[in-house]
Structures are given as C-alpha cells and as structure tokens.
Structure 1
Amino acid sequence: MTSGRRTRYSFGPAFELDTHDRLLTYRGKVVPLTLKALEILVILVEHGGRVVTTDELIEQVWPNTFVEPNNLAQNISSLRRALGERDQDTRYIETVPKRGYRFVAPVVQAEAAASSWSRPDAPPNGISARVPETRYAQSGDVNIAYQVVGDGPFDLVFVMGWVSHLEYFWMEPTFARFLRRLASFSRLILFDKRGTGLSDRVAALPTLEQRMDDVRAVMEAAGSRRAVLLGVSEGGPMCSLFAATHPEKTLALAMIGTYARRLKAPDYPWGPTLEERQAFYEEIQRDWGGPVGLAERAPSRLHDPQFRDWWATYIRMGASPGAALALTRMNADIDVREVLPTIRVPTLILHRSGDRCLRVEEGRYVASRIPGAQFRELPGEDHLPFVGDQDALLDEIERFVAGFHNPDHDRDRVLATVLCGVTEPRAAQNGRDASEVVMAAGARERLLALVRREVERFRGRLVRPDGSACPPVLATFDGPARAIRCGATIAEVARRFGCPIQLGAHTGECELLGDTIRGLTVDTALQVATQAPPGDMIVSRTVHDLVAGSGLKFRNCGLHIRPTDEAELSLFSVEV
C-alpha cells in the first residue's frame, strides 16, 4: 500500500466501507458488489442524511456518458439486496420520489493509516488492495477487457477457464489474494475472453484461434513482448496452442488443472462421456443464476453461503445462460493432443490429486506429451486454484519462474498450419484426359497472383520448401481456421479461372529459416493435398480438431494417410 490516509465508514450491525479501496465488508468479509454500485454507495454514505439527486449520481458515476435512470435504479436495487434491506426496520437507502436517494442509516467515520491493513487476505507489499483499472484492447473489431497489476521483472498472462469477470475476480477475498500473490513476483496481465465478462459480447463465441488472437492483442496493448502464460482448466489448451504457435512471445508455460481433450475417447479414457456432458448442459439451462458447477470446482466451499453467493453472481455476470451453454458445448470439442509435442518452452503442469472436475491423469497425460515438461501433483480436491491450499500452487509457480532467465529455445521451430496446393492432373490418373486439368500458362499466372493476395489477406506467409520443388501454393498460418478459409477462397476462384487445384492443410511443428520451411508437417500437408479432388480442399484430423466452434463444416471423406509408420491420419473434406 502507498502511504497516506484512508477514510472508513461504519454503519449497521457490522458494515465497514473503505472509500480508498472501494471495499464493503461485513464482519470482515468482502461483500460482492460491482464497481459502479460501490461508487454509488460511497457517494451516498459521504453525503449521509442529504438527498443526492438522480442527475448528481449519474454525472459522478457515469461522467460524460448517456445513462438511462433505470441503470441507476438497478444498481440501487443491488445495493439494497447486498445490505440486507427487507423492511423499514433495516432501511439504509431511502428513495425520495422525483428527486433522488438518501442514505438514512447512522454512519460513524474513522480515519486510519493506509499501512494499517490487517485483514487476513492483506496484499503483499507494493500491491494495492483496490480493484485495478479495467482497460480495453482492440482484437480485430472486438474490444477485450484487461487489467495490469504489479511491476515484477517479467510479464505473466493469467488465463482463467470457462467464464470470467475481471472485476468480480476481486470480490472474493481468496481469489483476490491469489492474484495479488502472482502480482507480487510478476507484472500480472488479466483479461476476459471475448463474449464473457467485461469484453464485447459477440454473435459467435470464440474459437481457440480467436482466443489466441485476443491474448496477442492484450499483450500488445499492455506493452508486453514476451510473457509467462498461466492457464487454468480450459485456459490450458489455449495457452498450449499459443506457446507452440508463438514461442517468440512465450517466456514459459504453466497450467493448473488442465486437459488435452475434453471428452472421453478410446485413447483418452479420463474425460466425461457425451451423456455426462449432456447432463451438465441441462443443468446450465435449468439452474443458471445459481451456483452451477460448484460441487465439482470447489467442494470444500460448497456449503459456504457467502462463497456460493459470490460464485453464482460471478458466473452470472460472466456470461448469459445461452453464452455459457454455447461455450461449454464448444469446449467439449477441444482436442490439442497433437499440439502438445510441438511446445518448446519451459513448461510446468500442476494438478491436485483429487480434482473432481478434471482427473489428475489428464494432467499427467499433458505433461507426458510436452518435451521436458515438469509435473507436480498436489493434495486436494478443489479444481479452482484459489480454493484450498493455494499457497502450495503459488509456491511451485514462483519457484518455476525464478528458475530460468530468458531460456534459450529455438524460436524457428513453431507450430503452424501449412496450406499446400498442387496442380498435377490427378484426374488423368483416373482415366480422364489430362488436358482437362492442365492449366494454361496465363491461367497459372492469374492463380499465383490470387494466391499471393489471399494469403496476405488471411494473415498467412508464403514459403518455399527446403531442397525440393515448390508447389503452386505453400503457405503457413498461425491459425488453422484462417488457413482453411484462405484455401476455400483460392479453390473457389481457381475453379472460376478454369484452374482446378488440389488443396490440403495440416497443423504441426515446422522449422522456418527465412522464407524456407522444412519438416514432416510440410510433407504431410503435401500428402493431404494430393488426396483432394481437383477444385476441392481436404484437411487432416489435427486441423479438424483445432477449429472447434469456428462454424466451419466438414465431411469425413473416408480417406487416410500415414505421415509415419506409426501414425495414421483421417482426412476431412471442407464443405463450403
């Protein structure tokens, strides 16, 4: 805390309002309120006994912004619920018709030194106890809410799973303590993924690829060139994809209670079945607004009334019922198993042995697939990292990040989606006249110009193979959905040119040296392309699994390739 004086007001049986840190407590425990509601309460308490007009409140709480009076009334209503107003005997805020509001309860004012903070969840030295300022980063045409806390020697991006709400993070003392501890040894960057919390609501919830773009946008807005990524639960797969795709931006990777695939499969026996997920979908539809999912995520706090109320409010503020359901359905399609072996940054996996939401075997599996990853199994059954023994987790993270300084890893080895296009007359191999598919020189030039334009438009990069002839289309993308949309556009326009082209895409580890690329992924993409009928596009199962929730449609075309003697990849046609 900084030096200086703070003002505290006491009222009611045991309420205490700290105007400096915008915190309302009851018997020492934080009362969850939005920042706007807290600002309204501070104004009313500071003017105790006097009417504060509706116009005054709106001007002070929402300066230079048009706000409907109903917005103010809703905040007043939430304040009354938080204060426990039920009848005239427990009245704190009086409505003065056609004028405004008045705080009518007796108030005792006390001055206290800012350094006298003594609550058990006190922040570490130098970290403010007040809710951090929320800012916005532009990711495409979407605004992403983010906060920056602390001034440590390196940046740490915290990626919360499922739904989130930045300002409600800080309303639960144990969560606030967890974040402040992270900020005591790093410059902590927090954000709400698009469609949740304080970020823009969107028509379609984000894919892993879009979430990766949002992290990149937030890092740029916060002035972060490289950061440690810390992913919780469903935040882990996204962080894995980011670390593999952008090793130049990733200092290290840590994941808590994470997974590689959300649903059960013959070679991944730990996830829930489709029937079990369907039961959870029905719970969301039926009970959203209450403490949905708490029994699996925080069993040790399940019967704590205050924590249940906070959790119910937190997830309700984080997403609407429809958005929560859509996000949960999309997460069920996540599968990053093929991404994990391509991660080349220092990695730590933490998992509690009795985690009821994601089994500890899932954490072990993730660690086993990432080269050089450290795995730490800790006691406990809570999934939420700030519930239970949070210090055990935080100690491991702090030791991990203190153990390296600018690790030397090969930034030229990256995860990329390779789009390959060939123009060999495959149809001729099936008995058709080769002249039907061999393009004229002029048409080929038009095709190459099209390829250059579309690859640039979809943020790709044209490359050439190391030591072999270059096919007409060879490009890398940092997101598979962009590669597919680029390929589909090229295929459609090429058909109109009378230049049928076979297109294929595969995601894997590549070695990039300038504009030269090499590695098994390039050979695999070429194999995929040669299986496509002229004018069509085919992708590997790896690509198919990484674009869950993108809206892209596929058809299992019944074909397979073998990039290695051990591996067999199913192929899928892209349906435009």
Structure 2
Amino acid sequence: MDTLRADVVQDIRFARSTDGVGIAYAVHGSGPPLLIDACWLSHLQFDWESPVWRHYLVELGKIATVIRYDERGHGLSDRGVTDHSLDARVADLEAVVEDAGLDRFALMAMAQGGPVAIEYAARHPDRPTRLAFYGSYSGAHAAATPEDLEMYAAFEALIRVGWARPTSEFRRVFSSMMIPDGTEEQMRWIDDLQQRACDAETAVISRSQRQTQDSTWRLPELDLPTLVIHSREDHMNEFHHARALASQIRGARLVGLDSSNHIVLADEPAWPVFMREMTAFLQPDRAVARPVVDSDDVASLVSPRELDILRLAAAGFDNDAIAAELFLSVRTVERHLQNVYAKLGLSGRTARTAAVARLLSTS
C-alpha cells in the first residue's frame, strides 16, 4: 500500500483481461464506487505523488470509493502490448469491474477514455448508475478539420523524435497543452510522467489506434444520468467535443469550466466548481449507500454472496476461514468485504467491526 496522506491509502491490485494482459488498478476512498476510465498518460504509483493529480485523488476519495486503472501497455499494467483496439480496451474495463467485484457503480471517462466508457455503458446498461465525462470525447476525429489531422501527424512525429530523450523539450509541447497555466514544477512532472507512463513505441502505437476509435453512433442508446464537464479553453480536447456529447445523450448536463487546463489545477477557480458538480452528481449514489439501521436493510443493499460473507464474519470466521467455507479465494473475500463497507458507508480499521455490529444489532 502507498500513502498519500495519513488517512488516505490506495490498494493496488491486478486484473487479467481476456487476452491475458495484466491490468493494474487501484482502490482508495470511501462511499459508493466511482470507476474512472482514466487518460492513457497515467501511472498509479507516480500519480499518487503528483502535484497535478493529488487533489483529485484526495477530494474524490472523500465522496466515493475510487477505482482507477492504468491502460494496457502503460503504468503498472503489462508493457509491450500492441493491441490497443476499442474491443481490447473495453475488455480491460470489464476485467477491472469483475476483479474488483463491482455490481452497480458510477463510471467516469477522462480524456481518451470516452469511447471505451460509452461502449461499455451501451453493452452493459444495467451496471453503471451514472456516467460522467471529463475533458473527453466520443471519437478523437469527430468533426476533425484538415488542420487537426495535420496536427495529429505532427504530434506523432514529436513522439518518435523526442519521447525517449533525456531532456524534455519535445515532451514539454504536450505538457504545455495539458496545463498551460501550470507552474514549472507541475510542467516538469508532466514531462516526467510521459516517459514513466510508457515507452515511445507504445505511445505511437496506442495513439494511432485510439485515433480511429469512435463511439459516437452509440450515444443515442445511452439512457442514464450523464454529466459532461470540460474546460472551455481546453487545448488538448477542444470544447466542441463536450457539446457533441451533451447534445447526443438524452438528458445529459453540460458544465463548462473557466479554465485553459486540460487537467484543472488545485489553485484555480475552476477546481471547486468541478468538485461541487461531481459531489452533486454522485449524491444519489451516496444516498443509497448511507448507513442502514437493521438487518433487512443490510440484506437489501448487499448481494447474496456479500451477505453470506458478512454472516460468517459475524460468526467469528476470519478471511481464510470464510474463503475455505465458501470455496473462494481470500482475495475475493477481501474484495466482497470492501464492497460491503462501501455500500454501508463504512471505512477505516473499524469497518469490519461496524458492519458486523450493524448486522447483529437487529438480527
């Protein structure tokens, strides 16, 4: 485990996708589950120390149990991967959902995660409770101009030439587009993240395959609460992508942030707006996950398998004994218990005791 603050801990786990690729994901926070289909430029451990991402991890963890993962070929996930197709990326998300033992959850697509989240929600309409897009799109080339296509080609050339260089002048082009208002420290962190996230070959291959992925045709199929939040002067993914998403998803709400940063920074006025919108958007899920007062309510909130595990815990079984009794792995038992705690609004070292006490209090 790694600590961000004394009271914030992330648990790093690994799922296995359908083609055998290992996908690293991390869980932290408390409350209803929020699965983040993050941007490709990520590294679960490196992000944890970040002057750019730290405030997201801390603040979102206060209102939700946050599950985020490194894309295939990136971060702590398996490297050297050449298949970055939409189907492969959706399979990765499905693998994380199943490995984490998620049933219903809010889904948030950041940046290049848009097509994947859209496709997942269309294929599994009974799983996401709500869908949020942040700085994202349904297709990278949707409404792309000839000038845009020329720029994409120039970016690929920059990656080939400058990604692996020990100095960061080529990578700084991308950093300055992501956070044009960032400090030098924040810029240097994004410079370094690019090399830590993946090698140059993976950056080129994954980028070229993502550019062809477009889930726009799926948007009319979506029927769930949707929030589209986007910086109005985003230099990486322009605001017209947000308008397109909101206009084609029934009932979607569009929120424009007064920022030029693709990643809104902690000290700019747009940040509290982002958190206010996300908190309000997740509130219905938080209401469902509020602590319950009797065993019938516990039974209605947790799955039958989770209830079996909780009853054995109440009988004094430890995780090893529960696993043996139910023919599960200890890891699976631990994940089911984490889901129980999230549904009951519990966290910390006393979560197990509190969950058992709540079950026993009216049984």
TM-score by length of 1: 0.46
386 and 157 in structure 1: CA distance in 2 versus 1, 3 angstrom threshold: farther
Cα distance change, pair 367–137 in 1 and its aligned pair in 2 (3 A): same
Determine helix, strand or coil for the equivalent of 1:316. helix
**Alignment check: 8 A CA contact 1:348 1:374 kept:** yes
Equivalent-residue separation in structure 2 for 1:345 and 1:233 (angstroms): 20
- Number of the residue aligned with 2:130: 252
**Aligned-pair CA distance for 1:162:** 2.6
CA RMSD, 1 decimal: 2.2
Say if 2:150 is the partner of 1:275. yes
Deviations 1:415-472 (A, max 9, x none): xxxxxxxxxxxxxxxxxxxxxxxxxxxxxxxxxxxxxxxxxxxxxxxxxxxxxxxxxx
String of CA shifts for 1:217-243, please: whole Å, max 9, x gaps: 112221211211111111122111111
Partner Cα distance (1:270, 1:251) in 2: 35
By relative contact order (CA 8 Å, sep 6+), the higher-ranking structure is 2
1:322 and 2:201 equivalent? yes
In the alignment, structure 1 segments of 5+ residues that lack a partner are 1-19, 24-122, 407-576
Contact 2:235 2:262 survives alignment (8 Å): yes
In structure 2, what is the Cα distance between the partners aligned to 1:322 and 1:225?
A: 36
Q: Does 1:133 find its partner at 2:11? A: yes
Q: Work out whether residues 229 and 252 of structure 1, in 8 Å CA contact, stay in contact via their aligned partners in 2.
A: yes
Question: Deviation of residue 21 (structure 1)?
Answer: 6.7
User: Please, which of 169, 179, 199 is the counterpart of residue 298 of structure 1?
Assistant: 179
CA distance in 2, matches of 1:271, 1:363: 20
Q: In 2, Cα distance between the equivalents of 1:272 and 1:223?
A: 44
**Of 140, 144, 161, which aligns to 1:286?**
161
Name the structure where helix makes up a greater proportion of residues. Answer: 2
CA shift digits 1:479-532 (9 cap, x unpaired): xxxxxxxxxxxxxxxxxxxxxxxxxxxxxxxxxxxxxxxxxxxxxxxxxxxxxx
Tell me how far apart the structure 2 counterparts of residues 380 and 242 of structure 1 sit (CA, whole Å): 29
Q: Per residue, is there more strand in 1 or in 2? A: 1
Aligned to 1:228: 106
1:273 CA displacement: 2.7
**How many equivalent residue pairs?**
278
Deviation (angstroms), 1:174: 4.0
Q: Which residue of 2 aligns with 1:96?
A: none
Q: How much has 1:206 moved relative to structure 2?
A: 2.0
The counterpart of 1:374, out of the listed 235, 247, 253, is: 253
Verify the 8 A CA contact 2:226 2:251 in the aligned structure 1. Answer: yes
The equivalent of 1:333 in structure 2 is 212
Q: How does 1:62-211 map to 2 (within 5 A)?
A: 127-128=7-8, 132-140=10-18, 141-152=20-31, 154-211=32-89
SS of corresponding position for 2:138: coil
| Rg comparison, structure with higher value | 1
Question: What is the alpha-carbon distance in structure 2 between the residues aligned to residue 260 and residue 397 of structure 1?
Answer: 20
User: C-alpha displacement at 1:402, in angstroms?
Assistant: 0.9
Give the whole-Å Cα distance in 2 for the aligned partners of 1:299 and 1:380.
10
Following superposition, the deviation at residue 167 of structure 1 comes to 0.6
Percent identity, aligned pairs only, is: 28
State how 1:322-401 maps to structure 2 within 5 Å.
322-386=201-265, 388=268, 389-401=270-282
User: Aligned to 1:339, what secondary structure does the other structure show?
Assistant: helix
5+ residue gaps in structure 2? Answer: 289-363
Q: Distance in 2 between matches of 1:394 and 1:158?
A: 15
Contact 2:114 2:139 survives alignment (8 Å): no
Is the CA contact 1:195–1:205 (under 8 Å) kept in the aligned structure 2? no
CA 1:22/1:254 → structure 2, altered by over 3 Å: closer, same or farther? closer
Quick one: distance in 2 between partners of 1:331 and 1:271?
18
